[in-house]
Structure 1
Amino acid sequence: MTRRRTPAAGPAAGVHVGSAAPRPRSAQGFGVRLTAPLLMGSLLNPLNTTMISTALVAIGHSFGIGAADTAWLISVLYLASAVAQPVLGKLADVLGPRRVFLAGLVVVMASGLVGALASGFGMLIVSRLLLGIGTSAAYPAAMAVLRDESRRVGRVTPRPVLARLSFAALGSAAVGPALGGLLVTFVGWRGIFAVNVPVALLAFGAALVWVPADPPRARDGQGNTPKLALDPLGIGLFSAALTVLVFFLLRLTDPLWWLAAPFAVLTAVLAWWQLRTPRPFIDLRMLAGNGALLRTYARQGLSYLLIYCVMYGFTQWLEEARGYSSGHTGLLMLPMSLTALACSLLGARTKSLRAPLTLACGLLMAGAGILLTLSGSTPLAVLLLAGACFGAPQGLIGTSNQAAVQAHAPPEAIGSAAGLQRTAQYLGAITASGLIALAYADAASDAGLHLMAAVSVVLGVLLTVLTVTDRALRARA
């Protein structure tokens, strides 16, 4: 549908109606200088979620621990990120996105130093915890910076700008295994922690120079700055409930069923408080009345449960069961990385939601079916094909679900809605960690890989049904 252009109101309308003079470049907004530091900061979290996949075996050998213990390096980052993303998003709204963005990068640099100099496995856990918190500031802060820029220039954020943010996240996640393998081969596993320091430092310097200062916070009628509305009780209950859930998921080999009681209590109290407080951490009323958004979160969680089972489970099997080095494993995962990058571009360009998501479901089930047939004598070409089958869905699912959130979330709540989308993704990843620990125990094996593949096929069928029956996906993005 064609819309007539109307003159912008207020200071953003820099040209009179009928004037042929072009808008000044500074008024057009969303330039490279503004978006470059946002892209650099936003790639750190997804990069670190996947880069460690080819270093887990080396770390386990260095400290004499097995796959069940190294899985904590995966889960602690996801737990921190699942809680920190929506919290830091709200902080960016009330304190200013530039401040939150820069503070997050400082925490990232500190986490890189702690991990690179770690003398014990516990220090690596601390490093990943700090890394999850620090990197979680970038994406919600970047969205808030773009929102402020929209207000300044008087127009909405262009879709190509949002697509570049999505591409940065997907691209960095896709190249993570290959980059991690190269770092482990030539530098050692400490390199995957140390590399965060120069990247965060570069993003910090660029943001300090190019990202505009935060606008002053609004004041009330008496000239006072309003108090922060962060709902600390809601944040605490949400964090506690997620922590209990993660402890349960990581002990699937010997389930701690007694954790069900505190989880149920925490969840019930959280729901009661969120419905009672005027400014809740999670708007349950909005979610209850928005089935399309809830189904998007369910698709995101299920999809990344399948993807990360391969990202971590397949790479460990390649190293321990097939005997490939970290460097060779990274190269074997390269087809997955390349197909993910290519499909992220295609997914950002398409206006359909159902078609790319349905295709992604089919590829996920095909990849899981291939994993069911793998053994020590499987040809190299089949291993490469399996990786490619899981790479394409990364690009298609990431961009399509992001478009679905933008389409179905209330405009005034797009920041918190995007944060909850990331939380759903992290919960899928945490569940994948528990499944890997259940399947492999102390070492990767053919039987463990086949168990993960069988579960993935069942989940793939469920994901396909959830996708093709969702009437909200018939709308164009």
Structure 2
Amino acid sequence: MTDQTTAARGDTRKAGFDRRLIPPMMLGSVLNPINSTIIAVALIPIGAAFGAPPSQTAWLVSALYLATALGQPIVGRLIDIFGPRRLFLLSTSLVGVAGIVGTLAPDLGVLIAARVLLGFGTCAGYPAAMALLRSEAERTGQDSPAGVLTTLAVANQTIAVVGPLLGGLLIGLGGWRSTFALNIPLAAVAVTLGALRLPKQPSTGRAARGRPAAQIDLPGMGLFAAMLVSLLLFLMNLHVSTWYLPVITVAAGAGFTVWELRTKTPFIDLRVLGGNVPLLATYARALVAYVVSYAFLYGFTQWTEEGYGLSPFHAGLVQIPMFLVGIAVSVTVGRHSGVFGKLLLGAVGQIAACALMLTLTAGSPLWALVVLAVVFGVPQGSNSLALQNSVYFQADPQRTGSSAGLLRTFAYLGSMIASSATAASFGQRADTAGMHHLAWIMLGAGVLYLLITVFDRSLRRLSATTA
């Protein structure tokens, strides 16, 4: 009788997702967004401490995005090979090191280096979570983890709400260095949870068996890094004097393509990726979606302060409804496993919000700004969840980690384009004319997002198979 009971319990454990994995997955995945949002309120105090203008402190933002955009697919591929545990523990340990370096930084250069370390350190959280979801699906035979995917999306959006407010509280209590010191206990908890709860043996695919080291494509990773870094540096500083950067991008891209098509164990299998048109369409949607999202997050906020006249604190409060609505939308639509409806909702929401931006002026009532933030919350919650679900179901199961990392890379590429568009629209001052110019760019990206969604027939098939 005891043996039968034990067997029954074992079957029960196998039948469902191992929820002990959720805490380290969530904490690992939010390390990046919390460091992305907290820095927004720390830039002015840091500039005052080191006598640095905004043009220099802006690198504290760009350094994290640059490192993360580069590191996500690389770390994701290493997760595919070695399993999530090793990379998760190593990367989250690096977050703690970055926290120490940032807390003790004597100048801005060291602080930027700490942000680079943070970027690389936070790279493993999201790909590891997606790889663990895939391994649990294989173990349980249940290939529709909609609830867990929704939990991850909501956790990231919740951090986006809490981040600036938490940053302001920490700065008030211990100065800007406390925003870096926060990473020390967060990393310690993440490493502890990862060591206790993540599976010790890699279970994310057959790539982990055999000779893993022989599957590390160092030349491919190097060429990919050269291509991406030169492209992002050019996008962050669009000027005729940087003409050589796109030349390097094209040359490195050509070399990367030739090498990946010839090598036996490519970093990014272009043969498989090139034949996976639905996944490529998802990456394209991610890029244009985040152009709209980041342009609103940073560009619209600058206008509310300089063009509309709000204080930084009140400008931050205007953004809160967007994140709260985003959370509510994620929870609501996350109950359904299909993706087409979520994407369509996000596309329409983006277009509606951009159209509302074009109606705003310096004389608009404050409630109009709040209404805009509420409308923007719809695509904020729907798009992120739908894109995440799409990659999970469209990617090669043996490359879930690297595919998830590439999704983040395209998202950060969108953020760089948004940053360039914002700078070009505003020039020397964030006035209403510049905000309207930016809104037209965002509207164009929103329409492109809608077209990529409507004409992608694979989405309907995907929704049918995941229902």
Using the size of structure 1 for normalisation, the TM-score is 0.86
**Structure 1 pair 254/225, CA: closer, same or farther in 2 (3 Å)?**
closer
Q: CA deviation at 1:239?
A: 0.7
Which residue number in structure 2 is paired with residue 417 of structure 1? 403
2:251 corresponds, among 251, 255, 265, to 265
Secondary structure at the residue paired with 2:200? coil
- Per-residue deviation, residues 235-274 of structure 1 (Å, max 9, x unmatched): 1111111111111111125562332222111111110001
Distance 2:239 2:44 in 1: 20
1:459 CA displacement: 1.6
- 1:113 maps to 2:100: yes
Q: Tell me which stretches of 4 or more aligned residues in structure 1 moved more than 6 Å.
A: 216-220
Q: 1:203 to 1:314 in 2, by over 3 A?
A: same
Q: CA deviation at 1:336?
A: 1.0
- Give how far 1:293 is off: 1.2
| TM-score, length basis structure 2 | 0.88
Q: Which residue of 2 aligns with 1:144?
A: 131
Q: 1:226 to 1:33 in 2, by over 3 A?
A: closer
Is 1:238–2:224 an aligned residue pair?
yes
Residue 434 in 1 paired to residue 406 in 2?
no
Matched, 1:403 2:378: no
* Structure 1 residue aligned with 2:283: 297
Q: Partner residue of 1:248? A: 234
Instruction: Identify if the C-alpha distance between structure 1 residues 360 and 29 changes in structure 2 by more than 3 Å, giving closer, same or farther.
Output: closer
Sort the Cα spacing of 1:128 and 1:164 in 2 relative to 1 into closer, same or farther, 3 A: same
Superposition pairs for residues 361-376 of structure 1, below 5 Å? 361-376=347-362
Structure 2 residue identity aligned to 1:418: A
The answer as to whether partners of 1:185 and 1:326 remain within 8 angstroms in 2 is no
Q: Which runs of 5+ in 1 are unaligned?
A: 1-13
- 2:109 is aligned, of 72, 97, 122, to 122
- Matched-pair contact (CA < 8 Å) for 1:53–1:315: no
Residues 1:134 and 2:121 aligned together: yes
The superposition leaves residues 332-375 of structure 1 with CA deviations (integer Å, 9 ceiling, x where unpaired) of 21101101111111232234423322222222222223333444
C-alpha separation in 1, matches of 2:205 and 2:445: 47
Measured in 1, the distance between the counterparts of 2:268 and 2:389 equals 21
- Read off the aligned partner of 2:153 and give its amino acid letter: S
Which consecutive unaligned segments of at least 5 residues does structure 2 have?
Answer: none
Compute the displacement of 1:469 (Å): 1.8
The 2-side partners of 1:87 and 1:32 are apart by 27
Contact 2:343 2:386 in 1 (8 A): yes
**Displacement of 1:60:** 4.2
- Tell me, yes or no, if the aligned pair for 1:275 and 1:284 is still in contact at 8 Å: yes
Q: Compare 185-194 and 260-269 and name the one that shifted more.
A: 185-194
Q: Measure the CA separation in 2 of the matches of 1:298 and 1:365.
A: 17
Quote the Cα distance in structure 1 between the aligned partners of 2:47 and 2:358.
Answer: 26
CA separation of 1:93 and 1:462: change in aligned 2, threshold 3 A = closer
CA contact (8 A) 2:17 2:140 kept: no
Deviates more, 1:89-98 or 1:459-468: 89-98
Inter-CA distance 284–204: structure 2 relative to 1 (3 Å threshold): same
Is residue 134–residue 204 contact of structure 2 (8 Å, CA) maintained in 1?
no
Q: What code does the residue aligned with 2:191 have?
A: F
Distance change >3 Å, CA 121–CA 216, structure 1 → 2: same
Q: Distance in 2 between matches of 1:297 and 1:236?
A: 22
SS in 2 for 1:206: helix
Q: Distance in 2 between matches of 1:199 and 1:25?
A: 33
Task: Name the SS of the counterpart of 1:349 in structure 2.
Answer: coil
Deviation at 1:156, TM superposition (A): 4.9
Deviation at 1:35, TM superposition (A): 1.6
Structure-2 change in CA distance of 1:423 and 1:410 (3 Å): same
Amino acid at match of 1:116: T
Q: Which amino acid aligns with 1:120?
A: D
Contact residue 75 and residue 405 of structure 2 kept, 8 A: no
Aligned residues: 460
State the one-letter code of the partner of 1:115: G
The 3-state SS of whatever aligns with 1:350 is: coil
Cα distance in 2, alignment partners of residues 421 and 128 from structure 1: 21
What SS does the aligned partner of 1:470 have? coil
- Pick which of 256-265 and 294-303 moved more: 256-265
Do the aligned residues in 1 keep the contact of 2:421 with 2:438 (CA within 8 Å)?
yes
1:347 partner amino acid: V
Larger relative helix fraction: 2
Q: Which residue of structure 2 aligns with residue 4 of structure 1?
A: none
Matched residues, percent identical? 42
Can you list the C-alpha shifts for 1:47-101, whole angstroms capped at 9, x where unaligned?
Answer: 2223333444444455455544443222221221122112112222333421211
Matched, 1:170 2:157: yes
Q: Secondary structure at the match of 2:186?
A: helix
Letter in 2 for 1:399: L
The Cα shift of 1:168 comes to 2.2
Output the CA distance in 2 between the equivalents of 1:49 and 1:425: 13
* 1:279–1:128 Cα change, 3 Å: same
Post-superposition offset of 1:174: 4.5
Q: Distance in 2 between matches of 1:392 and 1:444?
A: 25
Matched, 1:34 2:34: no
On the 8 A contact 1:170/1:344 being kept in 2, the answer is: no
The one-letter code matched in structure 2 to 1:203 is A
Q: Conserved in 1, the CA contact under 8 Å of 2:70 and 2:229?
A: no
